[in-house]
Chains A and B, each alone.
Chain A
Amino acid sequence: MWTWQTVLTTIFGGLIFPLVIGLVWGKLADDYKSFGGVLAGFFIVGTIWLLNHGIGLMHEPQMSSSLPGPWSDMALAAFWGLFVADLIEGKKIDWEAIVSGLLGGVLGGLLLFAMV
């Protein structure tokens, strides 16, 4: 069930994740190289996961049905926000990276499907 409150929290959840990644991750990786990425994993993804999915800023009503799913992870917002920022800046679409990402998602989905 969607209300204006859940619409607002879901949009904000989608906004905050790519924004913090775009602002902080690169700086951490510049300062501390690979260790910066490790710090970012904990402090950006871990903490925002708590807000978006742990506490539930992102509303996912499909998860309460008898056949729960499909799960739309906050990762979508991370990909799209960073992608859009570069597109507005005038960068080109890199099809090689897009195709490998899509194929990776299909293979990952098949593996998850095959597990249980």
Chain B
Amino acid sequence: MDLRRIFTGMCTGAFVGFGVFTIWPSSLARWNWLGGWLAAGIIITTGWLVNHYASGMPNRGNGAWVDMALPIWLSALLGGTVILDPVNGLVRGAYGIFHGANTGAALMTIFLQLVGATLAGYLLYTMRRSDV
């Protein structure tokens, strides 16, 4: 365990987690669905460059890949989302567990997302095995 690497990954992970759930809902509020599409280009690409291209998150070659998606998902689950509304300024979009939002209400979504992702993981494994 290298604490400095963990601390670096924590900061770069928090950067992308915070960035996604402020920039994304704000772009959506301003430019509708095109804003949602553009938000991926604004924040996900920058986050990927920092976390994975420049290895802010300490992934190793022989370890199972931990994507920056983990801090992204957890950020909104815990802290909710924030919108820079074109008319009303900075407003809250969603509440998180830190606000006391009802965690149980999201459990079914989380479970089904994990079911789909597990299937995808298996399909990816079989695809890689059959790669020539």
Q: Which residues of A contact B (CB under 8 A)?
A: 2, 7, 10-19, 21-23, 29, 34, 37-38, 40-42, 45-47, 49-50, 53-54, 58-63, 65, 67-89, 91-116
Known pairs A99-B1, A103-B6, A105-B17; list 11 more (Cβ under 8 Å). Answer: A19-B120, A41-B44, A60-B106, A71-B77, A73-B72, A80-B121, A104-B17, A105-B14, A109-B78, A111-B14, A112-B21
B102 and A93 form a contact (CB under 8 A):
no
Complex-state Cα separation, A18 to B9, whole angstroms: 21
A77 and B113 form a contact (CB under 8 A):
yes
Q: List chain A residues, Cβ under 8 A from B45.
A: 37-38, 40-42
A19 and B6 form a contact (CB under 8 A):
no
Given A38-B41, A104-B14, A105-B17, is A81 in contact with B120 using a C-beta cutoff of 8 Å? yes
Q: Is the interface of A mostly helix, strand, loop or mixed?
A: helix
Closest beta carbon of chain B to A110's beta carbon, Å: 6
A88 and B125 form a contact (CB under 8 A):
yes
Q: Is the interface of B mostly helix, strand, loop or mixed?
A: helix
A11 and B116 form a contact (CB under 8 A):
yes
A108 and B75 form a contact (CB under 8 A):
yes
Size of the chain B interface, CB-CB below 8 angstroms = 93
Query: Among the listed A15, A62, A101, which residue makes an inter-chain contact with B57, where contact means beta carbons less than 8 Å apart?
Result: A101
A68 and B94 form a contact (CB under 8 A):
yes
A50 and B33 form a contact (CB under 8 A):
yes
Q: List chain A residues, Cβ under 8 A from B67.
A: 21, 78-79, 82-83
B2 and A96 form a contact (CB under 8 A):
yes
A70 and B76 form a contact (CB under 8 A):
yes
Query: Among the listed B37, B39, B52, B68, which residue makes an inter-chain contact with A47, where contact means beta carbons less than 8 Å apart?
Result: B37
